[in-house]
Amino acid sequence: MRYRFTAPVAWLAGLMFMGPLSAPSLSQSRPRPAQPGFNLFTVQQDVDMGRQSALEVEKQLPMLNDPATNLYLNRIIQRLAAVAPGAKYPYRIKAVNDSTINAFALPGGPMYVNRGLLDAARNEAELAGVLAHEMSHVALRHGTNQASKAYVTRSGISILGGLFGKQGGSSSQILSALGGAGLNAVFLKFSRDDEYQADATGAEIMAKAGYDPNAKANFFQTRRTR
């Protein structure tokens, strides 16, 4: 997602999941963790399509191709992935040589972060906060949830049997039916509810991984006031 420097209301709301930041009474029930929504794809199809989409992304973006930077980023990712909910996706991350402050993730685990975000983060916790948010989109399967809804809207539920029947369609067939490489635009178009869920789940991941879950909110608040 492209990050805008607005008040981080959703992220701060997400921190309410964390417990130590608020002291709920015994009568209050703990909010239920976010759950993946409607989805026509299997977890393995998420992985397969993410890999195919990553090939297209890396042809189009100016990759930084710095082994030390990518090693550092993947160390953070593995720390977050160890406590992330949902399927155990093969998360990995690469840096993009772009000065804008941005990061995004594709279904199944491929993640990307711009050099601009690396330069802007004041510490590892702030960087981890953004990455935990993007990882949450993968864990909650938001990309293929959006693709599923787009497919049904465009093609109608009646023709799904041939593509998603008992035998299942290959990832290549599904990508072709949904628009090929251009499907990345669908994978990365999240609803406001998706963003709220990613904020809340990202805060939980951060806390479980040993990072201060306030760090992401602090990062965007500081950038907004500069």
3-state secondary structure of 102: strand
Return all residues near 150 (Cβ < 8 A) that are at least 6 apart: 178, 186
Q: Name the DSSP class of 63.
A: B
* Rounded Cα distance, 151 and 144, in Å: 10
Report the DSSP beta bridge partners of residue 120. none
CA distance readout (Å), 168 to 40, 51, 87, 140, 204: 10, 18, 20, 22, 34
The pLDDT value given to residue 12: 34
- To which residue do tokens 């949830």 refer? 145
The pLDDT value given to residue 224: 55
Mind telling me the catalytic residues? 134
Picking from 77-81, 138-142, 158-162, 173-177, which range would have the lowest pLDDT averaged per residue? 158-162
Q: What confidence tier does 174 reach under pLDDT thresholds 50, 70, 90? A: low
